[in-house]
Each structure stands twice: as C-alpha cells, then as structure tokens.
Structure 1
Amino acid sequence: MNKNFKTGSAILLLTLAIACNKKSESNTSAMDLAVVDSSAVANDMSSSAAVEDQNSKRKFIRTADARFKVKDVAQSTYKIENVTKSCGGFVTLSELRSSVTENDETQISQDSLLKTTRYEVNNTMSLRVPNVKLDTLLRSLAKEVQFLDYRVIKADDVNLQLLANELSQKRNATTSKRLETAIDKKGNKLKEINESEENLASKREKSDASLITNLSLKDQVNFSTVTLELYQNEQLKYELVANEKNVNAYRPNLGIQIWESLKTGWFALETILAFLVQLWPFFLLGFLSWMGWKKFKSTSNVIVNK
C-alpha cells in the first residue's frame, strides 16, 4: 500500500510540474505577443518621413493624420495634450463630442422607467509640434492606440518655393528703389508722379505678399501639424426616471374617490349656506313686507265686514 501511495504521489507531482511549465510558457508567449503588438503599433505610428535630417539643406512641411481607437477618449485626450506640451508644441483644436445613437425605455414599475442610452464618444484634435519632435510625439501616441485605422504622414519639399519667394522679394525691392528715384526726378509732373506712385505701391504690395507667404511656409516647416481622430467602444448609460406617460398609475382607488367626492359635496353645501346667510337683509325685508301685507289684508277684511 505504501508503495502504491508513493508511486501515485510521484505521478501527481510530475503532472503538476508539466502543467506549471506549460502555463509558464503560455504566459511568456502572451507577454512576448503583447510586447510585439506594442512595438508594432509604435512602428506603425512612426515613419522616416517624420524624422528631420539635420544635414539636409531641403525644407519640408511635415503633416500627420491618424485615426485610432482608444480605451477612454477623455483620458487619452488629456494625455495627448500633456505629451504635446512636453514636446514644446501646443493644441489648436480639441473637439470632444458625445453622440447618442439610440434611446430605449423599459417600464420596471407602474411609476418608474429604466432609460437606456447608447452613445459614442470621439474627439478631433489638431496639434502643432516642432518639426524635430514629430516622430517623438507619434511614438508617444502609440501607448494610447488599441486599434489603428490609418496613419498618413506627408513631407512636402518647399525649398524651391521659398527660394522663388525670396527672389521675388529682391526683384520687387530693386524695382521699388528705381521707381522711388524716378519719382524724385520728375519734379512737378503731377500726372506722371501719380502713375509712378501707384506702380510703386503695387510692387510693394507684391513684395509684402511674398514676405508673408515665406513667413507662413517657414512656420509650417518649423512646426508640424498633426490631426488626430480618437474614438472608443460604444457606451451605455442607465437612468431611472419617472413614468410620466402612465397617468392611471397615479389615480387613487375607488374608496378614496368616494370619500373625496363626499368632502367636495359637503364643501359645496357649506358654500351655498354661506351664500344664503349673506342674503339675510333680503329675507328680513321680505318677511317684514309679508307681515305688513298680511296685517293690511286683515284690516281691509274687518272694514268690509262692518
């Protein structure tokens, strides 16, 4: 018997050891899978187009658009705003919305309803971050992503456009100087001076437009624009409300209705009696008139009989 007991114990211990080993391997595999998934999301959010080459003389306007699912839109919004600030950027738009998709009411008692609301929460964000921090920001966003719908990163080379605007500014500046010199030499020729002044103003306006365009392009080069659309699973909200539609549920029973009717009838009788009491002068006048008429009639009968 002891031999059988020892053999059974050994088999049991061996089985437990194999099961623990498999469980450990399963947990390790799950952890490795989670790391791979997280790394894959980070790689999906990142891109070489989002990295600035310090040695390159080209100027790129980098933009990023992404739509992804998060666990909680509000919490992810706060985290993204903080990450943007830590990267030296700022938020230009954060449009957090809740959209009701369905309303349902279930009667749970005569005077109560359970109102069920299905709604979706999403947020559209627009961020501006330094060009050199764009890839850092995108990698930080990967922590919030549960499912990535799409990610679009664009890098537009505007080096030639900047150069064209600078050349246009120089040409307009040179022309403006020549026009100013010509205007000074015209003396009192008012008509020619007016035409030259108008031409000079037009050249300066074009020069200013080129300058403003260049400043705008440089701002877009220095600060990338990131547009994000966040969403989460559909949410449910339960609320207990009064059943205003079922008016009959609030009606009293028959006994109470009869008692209330008796009281109402008694109050009506009291009102009538009080009103009649108010007419006592008329009753008194009528009574005196009746007594006088009766006395007058008795006197008339006595005279006639005589």
Structure 2
Amino acid sequence: MKKYLFFAVISIAIWSCNSSNKMESADTTEALNEGSADTVSSDKIIKTADMRFRVKDVQAVKEKLSNSIKEEGGMVVEFTVQSNIMRTEKTKYSTDSLLELTSYRKEGQVVAKVPSDKLDDFTNKVVKMAVFVDQQSLKLDDQSMNYLSNALKNRNRVEAVQQLNKHANKKSNNVETALEIKDDYVDKKIQNQTIDSHVKYSTITLNFYQDNTVQKLVVGNDDLYDYRPAFLNRFWLGIQNGWVIFKEFILILTNLWVLILLAGAGYFVFRHYRRKRKMIGA
C-alpha cells in the first residue's frame, strides 16, 4: 500500500513539473509571437531635412517656428540663439564717458521632429518666413531591407525558442542559449521600433541669421589720462610747483651754510697760494 502511495506522489510531482514547463514555454512563445509579426507593410524611408536662411529678426522667427512645429504635431528637440561680435570700437563721448559701438550678428538654430507626411508643408511655411534662403536639402534613407532583415531574424528566433521549448530540460546550456536568443530578439525589435519612429517623424535642422546689427552704448571712460586737468590749469600748477621747489632749494642751501663757508675759504686760500708761487717764480 505504501509503495502505491509513493508512486502516486512521484507521478503527481512529475506531472506538475511538466505542466509548469509547458505553461512557461507557452508564455514565452506567445510573447515572441506578438513581435514576430513585424513585416514591411510600407516603405521604411527616413527623411532628414536641412535649411539655412536669412531673416529680419532671429528671436521673432524662433518663436514662429516653435508655434508652427506644434501646429504640425511635431516637437522641438533643440534650439540655440547666440550673438557673434564682429567688431567693437570706442570713441570719446565726454570727459568721463565713451561711446561704445558694437557690430554683431545674431544667429539661431532649431532642431525639430515633424510628422513625415507634413514635412513639405512645414518647409513651405519656413520659406515664407525667410528673407533669403541660402541652402535647402532633403535626404532620404531607405531602411526597408534592414527592417525586413530584423523581422525575418526575429521569426527565426521564435522558431528556435519553440524548438528549445519542445526539448526543455534543466541543462544550463539550453537555458543560456534561450536567453541569448531572447536578448537578440529584443535588440532587433527595438531597432525596428526606432526605424518606425524615425519614419513617422522626420528630423529637420533649421539655421537662420539676421543682418549685422550696430549697438550704441555709453560707457565709463577707463583712460586715466583723460581725467588730468586742462593745459592752463596744469601750466599754473607747474609755476606753483616750481616756486615750491625753489624755496626748498634755498632751505637746503641754508642748512649747508657751513660747507659753503668752508668751500669759500678753501677757494681763497688756494688762489692766494697760487698767486704767491707765480711771484716767486718771476
């Protein structure tokens, strides 16, 4: 009786394991089958556009572009507005100020994603905003074959996983192989989704600029020479400084009266001695 009970328990355990493996295999196969239906129902063409044009006001055009992109169902990915200084000069405006003249060019860049079916309409709107179009280009990249290749490879992976599930066991090599197949499947699936996204939304890069602008600005004069007094004031100050120096010189001579006295006495002694020698020689 105990033997029969033991065999019954073993049978139930084996049946439960098999059922679990079958359910797991079925779930895996179903998950893979959901993505194996990738087919090239239409051409997978990625559009990339580029434009460079001149405008009257960069900031105003940037705002118009943002609104137009939103109206077309697109989105702005990146934008930049910058001013490049071409030349700067400073001229005298008054004693303590200068007139600074700056010539600069304002430029802008907008990178956006626009629905591919509305790309032509959007570029036509952009042309109307421009004063002059320098350059306009459109690039078509056909990804149909890559898309089809990924889809067929995923079908092969689904079939491979199904074969592994039929011979499912607990050997590590089968588990690792199944995981590698599933990871490759996910990679190809993401690649196709990326292609779908690029096909649905085209990337357009817009570079625009305006004419050079001259800005006038009064700034402080940093040249210290200009802050000196006028010529007449400096002339009168020079006379005053000369008189002060002369008085200081007199004071210096007064302090040196002893040396002056000794020098004078020495001079007269020398002359007397020299005259006496001449008389003796004669």
1:223: how far off? 0.6
Contact 2:109 2:206 survives alignment (8 Å): yes
Please say which of residues 245-254 and 139-148 is displaced more in the overlay. Answer: 245-254
For 2:134 and 2:69, the matched residues in 1 are separated by 21
User: Of 191, 195, 198, which aligns to 2:173?
Assistant: 195
Alignment pair present for 1:145 and 2:130:
yes
Contact 2:81 2:109 survives alignment (8 Å): yes
Three-state SS of the structure 2 residue aligned to 1:88 is: coil
Instruction: Give aligned-pair identity as a percent.
Output: 28
1:80-127 deviations in whole A, cap 9, x for unaligned? 111111111110011111111222111122211011111111111111
For 1:96 and 1:109, the matched residues in 2 are separated by 35
For 1:100 and 1:248, the matched residues in 2 are separated by 27
Three-state SS of the structure 2 residue aligned to 1:81 is: helix
Contact 1:180 1:200 survives alignment (8 Å): no
For 1:92 and 1:250, the matched residues in 2 are separated by 57
Q: Within 5 Å, which residues of 2 pair with 1:26-105?
A: 57-105=42-90
Contact 2:103 2:212 survives alignment (8 Å): yes
User: Of 225, 235, 248, which aligns to 2:213?
Assistant: 235
1:251: how far off? 5.7
Superposition RMSD in Å: 2.4
Instruction: Give the TM-score taking structure 2 as reference length.
Output: 0.64
1:250: how far off? 5.9
Q: Within 5 Å, which residues of 2 pair with 1:258-273?
A: none
For 2:76 and 2:228, the matched residues in 1 are separated by 54
The equivalent residue for 2:102 is 117
Contact 2:127 2:133 survives alignment (8 Å): no
The equivalent residue for 1:280 is none
The equivalent residue for 1:158 is 143
The equivalent residue for 2:189 is 211
1:139: how far off? 0.8
User: Of 140, 162, 173, which aligns to 2:158?
Assistant: 173
Contact 1:110 1:246 survives alignment (8 Å): no
The equivalent residue for 2:251 is none
1:198-222 deviations in whole A, cap 9, x for unaligned? 2222111111110000000000111
User: Of 213, 220, 227, which aligns to 1:249?
Assistant: 227
1:247: how far off? 4.8
For 2:165 and 2:42, the matched residues in 1 are separated by 36
1:156: how far off? 2.0
1:248: how far off? 4.8
Instruction: Give the TM-score taking structure 1 as reference length.
Output: 0.60
Q: Which 5+ residue runs of structure 1 have no aligned equivalent? A: 1-55, 188-192, 258-306
Contact 2:44 2:195 survives alignment (8 Å): no
For 2:101 and 2:165, the matched residues in 1 are separated by 76
1:133-152 deviations in whole A, cap 9, x for unaligned? 11110111111111111111
Amino acid at match of 2:198: Q
